[in-house]
Structure 1
Amino acid sequence: MCAFETYFFNECLFEGDYLFAFFWGILLFRDLKRTYKVDKFIHTLTSTTKKKD
């Protein structure tokens, strides 16, 4: 999904259609924020399950 939003964001931006570029930018930012949170959660999960010697 993120790749489609990035493509449409770039297309709108280069064509000068800034209203739709803003719309796709919001959707893209939302996906990137969700990806960051999932990555942080997985990193925390893997670091807590490691064996401590």
Structure 2
Amino acid sequence: MTLKQFFILAAMCSVETYFLTDAFFNQSYWLVGFWAIFLLQNLRKAYIISKWTRYFNSSSPKKKD
């Protein structure tokens, strides 16, 4: 992912976050779900979610057999 693509994706995520919080505070929960789905898809495209899960999986204690 190039830097230009990342900035476009970051701008889209910030706009979607604004609409998500606006819908939440207006108690329009259908729109909350709508914007949350779009936000999660864009975060997955930016590999932010996979980085977090990789970080948490590596920091969790390992089970010994």
TM-score by length of 2: 0.54
How many residues are aligned here?
39
TM-score (norm 1): 0.66
Unaligned runs of 5+ in 2: 1-11, 52-65
Which segments of 5 or more consecutive residues in structure 1 lack a partner in the other structure? 41-53
Superposed structure 1 runs of 4+ greater than 6 Å apart: none
C-alpha distance after superposition, 1:8-49 (max 9, x if no partner) = 000001110000110000000000001017xx6xxxxxxxxx
Aligned-residue identity in percent = 39
Aligned-residue CA RMSD (Å): 1.9
Name the one with the larger helix percent: 1
